[in-house]
Amino acid sequence: MTNETELTLRLRDPEQRTSAFTELVEAYKEPLYWQIRRMVLVHDDADDVLQNTFLKAWTGIENFRGESKLSTWLFRIAYNETLNFIERRRQATSIDDEGAAAVAATLQSDPYFDGDETEMQLQEAIASLPEKQRLVFTLKYYEDMKYEDISERLGTSVGALKASYHHAVKKISDWFNKLE
């Protein structure tokens, strides 16, 4: 991948912007997709949010001040777009025990989901978490990110992230204990 500083300079140049943005999409589409997918769980929804993320990035690229890394800026856009999507979805329906079971049914019919029964139960438990806890848990558990990196990406203190992760783990543990 191209150096972020060089890519940022090319994105600011109107003559190079389109090719630089294509390179940006190629470099970040997969990690952004998986961050989003772990939050929304369904492939088609993740694709929609990813498309909205890149659309926002394209329309806002001139406003990127370079105070953070380009990747941090993109992941922040993806995070915000994911939360917006989840909020719109929540206004239409709520995720409780029945909603989590619906998530499991959706995952079972998703051709891109290849997990076993335990993974399905874990996804149900994760789906029942509040959005912030869900995101912190997925970044820490699935991506094995350090709290400092999550803090930079989300703009939240390390202490708050540790508390969110602790609460998420406790709720997931309680979820599995209820199944027994």
Tens of pLDDT, residue by residue over 88-137, are: 876 665 444 445 555 555 555 555 555 567 777 787 888 788 878 888 88
Shared-domain flag, residues 81 and 134: no
d(CA 94, CA 115): 24
Whose tokens are 């140049």? That residue is 13
Shared-domain flag, residues 160 and 86: no
For 27, phi and psi rounded to 5 degrees? Answer: -75, -35
pTM of the model: 0.64
Residue 139 lies in a domain: yes
Shared-domain flag, residues 137 and 83: no
Shared-domain flag, residues 74 and 135: no
> What's the residue count for the chain?
180
Q: Show the CA angle centred on residue 141, arms to residues 132 and 116, nearest 5°.
A: 110
Distances (CA, A) of 177 to 11, 124, 143: 50, 13, 25
d(CA 33, CA 81): 12
Residue 122 lies in a domain: no
Q: Show the CA angle centred on residue 20, arms to residues 39 and 156, nearest 5°.
A: 35
4: domain range?
1-92
Q: How many structural domains compose the chain?
A: 2
Here the CATH number for the domain that contains residue 153 is 1.10.10.10
Residues of the chain predicted below pLDDT 70:
1-2, 90-116
> What confidence score (pLDDT) does residue 116 get?
62
Shared-domain flag, residues 15 and 85: yes
Residue 97 lies in a domain: no
